[in-house]
Amino acid sequence: MATEQRVGWVGRAWIAGVFGFSVARALVVWPTLGEYGVNPWIFLIIDVVTAWPYAYGQVRVVNGARRGDWRSVQFWAFVTFLNFIAPYAYIVGAGSGEMPLFAWVVIGALIVVFGVASVIRILRQIRAPES
């Protein structure tokens, strides 16, 4: 595989971990947001379908940054962002009129926490020696 497309074992492990996390997150959404109009099956499908491109996009951002290919970094950062936000966008759209304020606060906090964690992880990987 070409250098710019190489994922490596760490990248594959990250992709698998993100996929597993998506399944676990759907299991949490099921009992907590199902009563507010969020269909847990649709959420699960969106979350699982977007898990791979989200994680793969992070790997490509890291590889592109290491090579100084900023056009690639911009493209893959956009792909990563869209796939990160898609499950949350579904929750916002599906539960828009029914969810209590507390649910909105928790969802907003999760977006911020997981978004910042993703950026920190990407920056650490960019600065780490290649494996």
pLDDT at 3 over 50: no
pLDDT at site 50: 92
- Average pLDDT of the residues of the chain: 84
Region 6-31: mean pLDDT is 73
User: What gap in Å lies between CA 28 and CA 39, rounded to an integer?
Assistant: 12
Region 94-118: mean pLDDT is 87
DSSP annotation of 3 reads G
Q: Which of 52, 41, 45, 42 is nearest to 19 (CA)?
A: 52
Question: What are the tens digits of pLDDT across the range 48-86?
Answer: 899 889 989 998 999 999 999 999 999 999 999 999 999
Tokens 């992070």 sit on residue: 58
Sign of the dihedral defined by the CA atoms of residues 50, 56, 62, 68, in that order: negative
Region 97-108: mean pLDDT is 84
pLDDT at site 75: 97
User: What gap in Å lies between CA 124 and CA 76, rounded to an integer?
Assistant: 17
CA 16 → CA 30, 47, 48, 51, 91, distances in Å? Answer: 22, 13, 11, 9, 23
DSSP symbols for 12-58: HHHHHHHHHHHHHHHHHHHHHHGGGT--HHHHHHHHHHHHHHHHHHH
User: What gap in Å lies between CA 61 and CA 118, rounded to an integer?
Assistant: 11
Please tell me the pTM assigned to this model: 0.76
Task: Kindly indicate the confidence band of residue 7, based on its pLDDT and cuts at 50, 70 and 90.
Answer: low
